[in-house]
Amino acid sequence: QVQLLQSGAEVKKPGSSVKVSCQASGDTFSRYTINWVRQAPGQGLEWMGRIIPTPGIGHYAQQFQGRVTMTADKATSTAYMDLINLRSEDTAVYYCARSRSDAFDVWGQGTMVAVSS
């Protein structure tokens, strides 16, 4: 059974960057797609983009183009989401989620990222 374990909470200053990790266990990592979804406090779910570990291609939502990079390390079965130039509006819980046919069937536990001066 696939499990996704995310890195711990982060507190960042505006203008800085954050890198969140998502380690998979229980299945062949390279066979599926990892998505990143975020949820601001009290708000809904926002899809940020996805990475296909093989061949390592990322697709990003337009509003994050230029600020986000998604990567995958097949050797450690870990996906990463790197967000730069942080602003207060980026304060949110960030989830990784496996998708099959673009339905998110396995989720990480979430990583809280707080951006504050």
Partner 1 sequence: DIQMTQSPSSLSASVGDRVTITCRASQNIATYLNWYQQIPGKAPKLLISVASSLQSGVPSRFSGSGSGTDFTLTISSLQPEDFATYYCQQSYSMPLAFGQGTKVEIK
How far is the C-alpha of 111 from the C-alpha of 6, rounded, in Å? 6
Which residue matches tokens 């304060």? Answer: 91
Could you say which residues in the range 71-110 bind partner 1, by CB under 8 A? 95, 97, 99, 101-105, 107-110
Question: Least Å distance between CB 110 and partner 1?
Answer: 6
Could you say which residues in the range 37-76 bind partner 1, by CB under 8 A? 37, 44-47, 50, 59, 61-62
Listed residue (25, 20, 1) closest to 10, CA to CA: 20
Ramachandran sector of residue 96 (left: φ over 0; alpha: ψ -120 to 50; beta: rest): beta
Nearer Cβ to partner 1 (28/109): 109
Binding region for partner 1 (CB under 8 A)? 35, 37, 44-47, 50, 59, 61-62, 95, 97, 99, 101-105, 107-110
